[in-house]
Structure 1
Amino acid sequence: MGAGAAVTGHHDAGFLQFVDPKRKWYNNRRLIALNAWIVLLLITSSTNGYDGSLMNSFESLKLWNDYFGSPHGGKLGLLNAIQNIGSLAAYPFAPYSSDGLGRKLTVWMGATVMLAGVAVQSAAHNLNSFYAARFVIGFGLTFATNSAPMLVTEVAYPPYRAQLTALYNSLWYSGNIVASWTTFGTEFINNNWAWRIPSILQGLPSVFQFALVLFAPESPRWLVSKGKEAQALQTLAYYHADGDETDPLVLYEFNEIKAGIELDRTVAANVGWSALWSTPGNRRRMTIIIAIAFFSQWSGNGLVSYYLSQVFRTIGITNVTIQLLITGILAIWNLFWAASASFAVERVGRRTLFLTSASGMLVFFTLQTVCSAQYALHGNNAAAHAVIAFIFIFYAFYDLAFTPLIVSYTVEILPYSLRAKGFNVFNFAVSLSLIFNQYVNPSALGHLGWKYYIVYCCWLAFELVFLYFFIVETKGLSLEETAALFDGEDVTRVLGQATHEIRHDDLPDEKGSGQYTPTDELKA
């Protein structure tokens, strides 16, 4: 925390002192264009959310169950886990693609592979072809989800970076909503199009990315890392300052990016996979990142996300239409709270959101457990209805942090040289936790019923204690400043020296005045 104080103290205003207060996302054509490109990247998360709800909805569809022989037990577990197994298969390759080929090309590759998987899934004639299709979707999703949030956070206009990156994972629920309500509508189709139509729609975000993402701006940090400094400066200037390469904010960003990447190159401990655990700062990062990855899936939410139909049955709700209706309403509820938290992240702060989220989840999951027990033991219908209410309130608290922050916090605390690899470890941990959930949860629910909830109550208490001691506040800092929180005063000093001379009154009145700017060096 001492290092954090040093960073905050030196960068008392950080990039904010150079931001033009008149330049807003709604009144600047280039910021509007930039944010449109960012939306194209944000919908990567929608594909993932769509799939989560899709399988939940299919499990409630009689036609789907009849067609595939009502998968249950191990078959049902594999059906939900196979996408994550596909994701695991791609993890060794995704960070090298992101760092080597570029962020946007990696997103395009992922979208292409996912489209192939969706085509096979939609035309599936047996369970094996359905398994294969979901494996391919998971494989492609790893490439897209490794690069898309990094490109968002690395290209976004600094005052909006945290909010937009937080919005990335929140849009998981946009896919969730489309899948829930599409399946709710197609339930009334009396043939196999009841499940084939929702399956086809899963590919819609990938269609847009396949057609458009190669025209999006590339990450200035990736460009600098590849020696394309002139192009990086032009990208920053074009989108962040209407093309003015002498704008104070652009110079601040450019110099800080160069200093951070150059520092990583000169410090052997900052490159390679072993670097993720080679320094105290990196070990602290990875402890937090792996923990929040598992917390995001092991907070009791996994029961609702993938096995809601089984949860419904434990409280006596067996009508398929009612199940699908509640699923659809819950998706809208989740999107509202997650998006609201995303826009509040810079105002409220990450630490406050994490601690509030964990506290609320512990309280309301405990109440959900008590009411489930009341229904199971005494047949109390009022308790069953209360379970539904507590699921909604539980998710409101979950959505304050564990939807918007787990991706944005991960990518912002990692330095550029480790960002792709560290984020890959995060996604790997999420997949491991999901595979465990998808095999263990249905079996445990079947054998233990409401008693299984007690395990999650204990785990939520542990989460709260961990977050209290480990989460570091990063509000109001640039990417480079945030990463420096974990690396001590030496890194802080390097970044400070790189940006120290950038002041409004030191800048030339016009280009070519004879004063130094980064452009002069690039043109030399």
Structure 2
Amino acid sequence: MSLLGNHLPKSQGALVFVTMMMTVCFPTAFGYDSLMMSSLNALPMYKDYFGINDATSNLNTASMWIGQIVSTFSVQYLADTFGRRTCSISGMIIVTIGIILQSAAQNVAMFVVARIILGFGFGIGAVAVSVLISEITPLKWRSVSTGLFFTNFLLGALIASAVTYGSMDINSTWCWRLPSIIQIVPLALSFFFVLFAPESPRYLISKGRIDEASEILAIVEDAEPTSAAVTTIVAKCADETADKRSHFAIWGEMFATRTGKRRMISIAILSCAVEFGGSSVCSYYQSLLLGQAGITETKQKLQVGMVSTIWCLVWSVTGSLMFDRLGRKPMAMGSLLGMSVSFFIMGGLMKAYDDGANISAYGTVALMFIFQMFYSFTYTPIDFVYAPEIWSTKHRAAGVAWYSFVNDSLGLIATFTLSIAMTNMGYKYYFLNAGFNLIFLPFMYYYWVETKGTKLEDVEELFEAAPYGGFGNKFFTPTEIESVEINSEDKFVAEEKC
């Protein structure tokens, strides 16, 4: 008799459908918030109602990052204690409370508190949902599913840009309250599909619920619960999680070992590229960038925002499909180089415009689109591909929480300072940002380990064997198959090790 509820998927195809819908819905709600704030910063009614200046604009926009940073101190404990699925649902409930308060905000203080609550819920949900997806998705779909996780951030951004474009002519506070309320739609859909998702079998194994975990793994692997494929995963996960140390001890372990330090550094490099690479310039402060390029009309800014979001979405989906073909590391380094070259040229065009040259503003816009192509191809989808898959089962939730903490901390700094730096430095800021990006290339080459095609249960062995520098992981061959003699006639069969 099955131990799983009747509402849970009973086939691999149904499970992939549920995980893909989770991949679509939650990031859509998250991404909706990003471009909604960028678009609201261009609405005169919103700015007049809250008395927006540089300081309050940064505070309203960046306050969500504060909530996300705070969430990282609790999400690992919640995910490892109550389960990835329960933690995901909790995060969505908290986000709902934040949306209600934000939509009803009467002053800056209420708006900021609402966004801190939003950030706290999104921080918990982003870690829990991404870890859950990575742990219940079959290997052949994993990089696509986790790659599309943050790619659908752009789907939410596209919806937000369309909604705010449609509401900008409303001559009341509903021009910004309505976009805020609509954010709850993708969140409700996300909640619905998480209810139909099974709990992570890796979490169930850590709690001794082996039979339930085996049933879920049988669906993931499209095999019988007693098959070698399932029992191998159960045995490896049980070994990894056998040491019942405190959650604080787990954090200490992550910093103590050579492979742990390498993972921490790799995650920090990824966070720097994601947050300081220039994405905030082309998203949260796209309106300011366009103004510096000579585009000042609100309607034009919103139109460019919608087109650029579609452009980014197309390249992000393309990148999600290429991780298992090109590899994580080559894509990350190639895109970072392209981003730097784009910013160098963009800075040169802005300097020429400032010096009075007869240059169309759309030359700078074209460079913005080229930058977004490079960024979206790798750094949008890789956000929650690389972070979950480089950690063992015992450390995965803590590792993704660490990535979230570093990423959110750098995002907070970037969001608070970028508009001031862009305003005061003008074209020089783009030269600085481009040069800063190039610094990460040698560190990425030296520390990163290629994880293309590697099972989650083999990642610990992969990092133990990985040399520093180089591309690919051909140096690593997991010992999953051995030959065993079965009779006196010297016949052999291949059998999976358990």
Q: When the two structures are superposed, what TM-score results if normalisation uses the length of structure 1?
A: 0.85
Check if 1:141 corresponds to 2:122. yes
Residues 82 and 131 in structure 1, CA contact (< 8 A), matched pair in contact too: yes
Check if 1:317 corresponds to 2:299. no
In the alignment, the residues of structure 1 paired with residue 239 and residue 481 of structure 2 have an alpha-carbon distance, to the nearest angstrom, of 12
* More displaced stretch, 38-47 vs 269-278: 269-278
In the alignment, the residues of structure 2 paired with residue 257 and residue 29 of structure 1 have an alpha-carbon distance, to the nearest angstrom, of 22
1:82: which partner in 2? 63
In the alignment, the residues of structure 2 paired with residue 377 and residue 415 of structure 1 have an alpha-carbon distance, to the nearest angstrom, of 55
In the alignment, the residues of structure 2 paired with residue 145 and residue 226 of structure 1 have an alpha-carbon distance, to the nearest angstrom, of 23
Q: Return the match for 2:44 from 45, 51, 62.
A: 62
- State the shift of 1:445 in Å: 1.5
1:130-169 matches, within 5 Å, as: 130-169=111-150
Residues 252 and 502 in structure 1, CA contact (< 8 A), matched pair in contact too: no
Provide closer, same or farther for how the CA distance between residues 269 and 109 of structure 1 changes in structure 2, counting only shifts above 3 A: closer
Q: Return the match for 1:49 from 31, 35, 51.
A: 31
In the alignment, the residues of structure 1 paired with residue 210 and residue 253 of structure 2 have an alpha-carbon distance, to the nearest angstrom, of 25
Residues 273 and 336 in structure 2, CA contact (< 8 A), matched pair in contact too: no
The total of aligned residue pairs comes to 471
Q: Return the match for 1:257 from 237, 259, 271.
A: 237
2:442: which partner in 1? 465
Residues 229 and 496 in structure 2, CA contact (< 8 A), matched pair in contact too: no
In the alignment, the residues of structure 1 paired with residue 358 and residue 232 of structure 2 have an alpha-carbon distance, to the nearest angstrom, of 63
Specify the SS of the correspondent of 2:276. Answer: coil
Tell me: higher relative CO, structure 1 or 2? Use CA pairs within 8 A at least 6 residues apart.
Answer: 1
In the alignment, the residues of structure 2 paired with residue 354 and residue 290 of structure 1 have an alpha-carbon distance, to the nearest angstrom, of 14
Residues 270 and 417 in structure 1, CA contact (< 8 A), matched pair in contact too: no
Provide closer, same or farther for how the CA distance between residues 154 and 316 of structure 1 changes in structure 2, counting only shifts above 3 A: same
1:228-243 matches, within 5 Å, as: 228-241=209-222
In the alignment, the residues of structure 1 paired with residue 239 and residue 185 of structure 2 have an alpha-carbon distance, to the nearest angstrom, of 40
- State the shift of 1:76 in Å: 1.1
- State the shift of 1:141 in Å: 1.0
**TM-superposition CA deviations, 1:355-401 (whole Å, max 9, x none):** 2111211111111111111111124333x221100111111111222
Provide closer, same or farther for how the CA distance between residues 141 and 278 of structure 1 changes in structure 2, counting only shifts above 3 A: same
Provide closer, same or farther for how the CA distance between residues 81 and 266 of structure 1 changes in structure 2, counting only shifts above 3 A: closer
Provide closer, same or farther for how the CA distance between residues 162 and 253 of structure 1 changes in structure 2, counting only shifts above 3 A: farther
In the alignment, the residues of structure 2 paired with residue 352 and residue 438 of structure 1 have an alpha-carbon distance, to the nearest angstrom, of 28
Residues 233 and 457 in structure 2, CA contact (< 8 A), matched pair in contact too: no
- State the shift of 1:85 in Å: 0.7
1:199: which partner in 2? 180
1:455: which partner in 2? 432
In the alignment, the residues of structure 1 paired with residue 128 and residue 402 of structure 2 have an alpha-carbon distance, to the nearest angstrom, of 13
Structure 1 vs Structure 2: percent identity of aligned residues? 29
Q: Return the match for 1:426 from 389, 399, 403.
A: 403
Check if 1:437 corresponds to 2:417. no
- State the shift of 1:40 in Å: 3.9
Specify the SS of the correspondent of 2:225. Answer: coil
In the alignment, the residues of structure 2 paired with residue 45 and residue 415 of structure 1 have an alpha-carbon distance, to the nearest angstrom, of 24
Residues 30 and 153 in structure 2, CA contact (< 8 A), matched pair in contact too: yes
Letter in 2 for 1:200: I
Unpaired runs of 5+ residues, structure 2, are 1-8, 467-476, 488-494
1:474-493 matches, within 5 Å, as: 474-488=451-465
* More displaced stretch, 201-210 vs 418-427: 201-210
Q: Return the match for 1:117 from 89, 98, 101.
A: 98
In the alignment, the residues of structure 2 paired with residue 398 and residue 429 of structure 1 have an alpha-carbon distance, to the nearest angstrom, of 19
CA RMSD of aligned residues (A): 2.6
* More displaced stretch, 109-118 vs 179-188: 179-188
Residues 482 and 497 in structure 2, CA contact (< 8 A), matched pair in contact too: no
In the alignment, the residues of structure 2 paired with residue 516 and residue 395 of structure 1 have an alpha-carbon distance, to the nearest angstrom, of 45
In the alignment, the residues of structure 2 paired with residue 177 and residue 350 of structure 1 have an alpha-carbon distance, to the nearest angstrom, of 26
Residues 123 and 196 in structure 1, CA contact (< 8 A), matched pair in contact too: yes
1:245: which partner in 2? 225
Provide closer, same or farther for how the CA distance between residues 321 and 229 of structure 1 changes in structure 2, counting only shifts above 3 A: same
In the alignment, the residues of structure 2 paired with residue 267 and residue 88 of structure 1 have an alpha-carbon distance, to the nearest angstrom, of 24
- State the shift of 1:248 in Å: 4.9
- State the shift of 1:324 in Å: 0.3
1:176: which partner in 2? 157
Unpaired runs of 5+ residues, structure 1, are 1-27, 490-494, 507-514, 519-524
